[in-house]
A = this chain, B = another copy of it.
Amino acid sequence: MTIASLGRGTSGPCFDVPPEVEALRARVAAFVADELAPREGLLTEPAGVPWSAVQELRSRAREAGIYGPHIPRAWGGLGLDMRSVAVLFEEAGTSLLGPLAINGAAPDEGNMHLLEVVATPQQKETYLRPLVAGEVRSCFAMTEPAPGAGSDPRMLRTRARRDGDGWVLDGHKWYITGADGAAFAIVMARTSDSDDGRGATMFLVDAETPGFAVVRHIRSLDQTFLGGHCEVRLEGCRVGPEAVLGEVDEGFRYAQVRLAPARLTHCMRWLGIARRSLEIAAGWALDRHSEGKPLGEHQMVQAMLADSRIDLHAARLMIWHAAWVLDSGGSAREETSIAKVFVAEAVGRVVDRAIQICGALGVSEHLPLGLFYREVRPFRIYDGASEVHRASIARRFLRAVARHRN
């Protein structure tokens, strides 16, 4: 290295959002204001947002040129990298309708990524094409009721046994988001009993396959996921050899392929919700008076606003950083894990503070904060509970320190 090569002009970490991404972001912001904000009543309809309304929103998003930021251009999307997706998903996430409109909601968005990476060309035609087109929905069927797979996926009990050239699946899945109305499920089933982190296989199962049944909706604190959270039974559910996604016994590995980016896009979307919550609270702090001055001039309110600003700033930087790692070809297991823990908790704090600032109005239907409060709480549990991530982060760090000492 020549010191001479250094100087005030040395490049390094950079936080520019490219102008074309910024322009797209502005489009998304306008779309949220013009198209989504007036329709948010859809979110509290007893049966959930109607599928026809989703189709309509997607059609408008296409017209606005903002459909599918994460979908490859060859498949009809904008084909952006994760850093740009981060910007657009945050903006779309300021409305709970936003991710639906741009077809970037969970679990479909994660499934698209998984299929893109792992599926065969034929499987892509059959499953990925209608999914990215926004014509169908899908679900990811891993979780099981106790004592099955939950925070610890290795407790998987659903089994697939070979039957001729195909497989027969039997098991009980639980809390399968989006299952009701999904055209197909990616089902995780045990295919061998090895203890080495292998032994599970992913299967693509059409919803109409005999033996595959969505048996009930499980009502939850959150309520806006399309298709709800469902209980699914697999009883003698026979699928052909073409149903195997990727290689047999490699399901746990693919689950990781899916999970790291999927939890990051979750972070992006929830960041939008949190930002909107803070903006609502700031508006109220400007307007509402108490003891002779606006709420916003009371320091306890200022402290809440400042803490939320700080939380959002840290959350956004962590998301961008993890996105950069993914764009650079890294697995980002560590970075997305860290981001997930922090963002899930920060988003909860920001929404909670917004409610507190708005007082009784904040818990009333006049503001969406109560709804947001319900939606964001489970995020500390979904995609790996905070405790599970913390344990992983610590173990990984301790291993690194141990290696470094030797």
Contact = CB atoms under 8 A, between A and B. Distances in A.
A328 B216 CA distance: 55
A310 B364 CA distance: 29
Interface string A145-166: 0110011100100000000000
Interface residues of A, number: 114
A78 interface: yes
A18 interface: yes
| From A221, A342, A366, A389, residue with most partner B Cβ within 10 Å | A221
Given A285-B398, A298-B299, A16 B12 contact: yes
Query: Chain A interface secondary structure, helix, strand, loop or mixed?
Result: helix
Contacts of A221: 355, 363-364, 370, 373-374
A283 interface: yes
Interface in A301-329: 301-303, 305-307, 309-310, 313-314, 317-318, 320-321, 323-325, 327
Contacts of A80: 6-8, 10
A84 B390 contact: no
Contacts of A317: 314, 317-318, 321
B373 A359 contact: no
A115 B393 CA distance: 44
Copies per assembly? 4
B301 A365 contact: no
A10 B83 contact: yes
A8 B377 contact: no
Contacts of A390: 300, 302-303, 306-307
Contacts of A352: 377
B5 A301 contact: no
Contacts of A3: 20, 65, 78
A47 to B, nearest CB: 14
A282 interface: yes
15 contacts: A8-B80, A10-B80, A13-B15, A13-B16, A13-B17, A15-B321, A15-B325, A143-B360, A146-B288, A220-B370, A282-B398, A306-B341, A309-B338, A313-B338, A363-B377
Interface of A: 1-3, 5-21, 23-24, 65, 73, 78-81, 83-84, 87, 143, 146-147, 150-152, 155, 174-175, 218-222, 229, 279, 282-283, 285-291, 296, 298-303, 305-307, 309-310, 313-314, 317-318, 320-321, 323-325, 327, 338, 341-342, 352, 355-356, 359-366, 370, 373-374, 377-378, 380-382, 385-387, 389-391, 393-395, 397-398, 401-402, 405
